[in-house]
Structure 1
């Protein structure tokens, strides 16, 4: 559930929807359900997503991908 896309990221964005209400929600073809904004950087990014030292986990994803956040933690302290 990322809130932004980093400069340099390449892949297919996934729109994840969850109904946390107690009642069903009906969606119709053509119904507006979200928006996206693209912002131009005023300077070049120091390190773009996908730079090897960043450990970018989602570069090039083409399908919905489960969180890989667990890879941030050292399994053998």
Structure 2
């Protein structure tokens, strides 16, 4: 699954139409393993193991202590 979150931070509305292209995703094959892969617990990743769409965990970047 890939979740795409959109936000309009402009002061004017933006109209999206059915079939309108709004982005592009590109996948590349690596020739060597990643040194620090996404989802590595040592990196403090937040999204490993979820099933289906997952709400943002961005708030976990801030420590409230």
* TM-score bucket of the superposed structures, by smaller chain: 0.5 to 0.7
Give the count of matched residue pairs.
61
Q: Distance in 1 between matches of 2:14 and 2:35?
A: 43
Q: CA deviation at 1:16?
A: 1.2
Supply the RMSD in Å over aligned alpha carbons.
Answer: 2.2
1 or 2 for the larger relative contact order (CA 8 Å, sep ≥6)?
1
TM-score (norm 2): 0.66
**Residue 55 to residue 21, structure 1, CA distance change in 2 (3 Å):** closer
Structure 2 unaligned regions, length at least 5: none
- Counterpart of 1:58 in structure 2 is 47
Unaligned runs of 5+ residues in structure 1 are 1-11
TM (normalized to structure 1)? 0.58
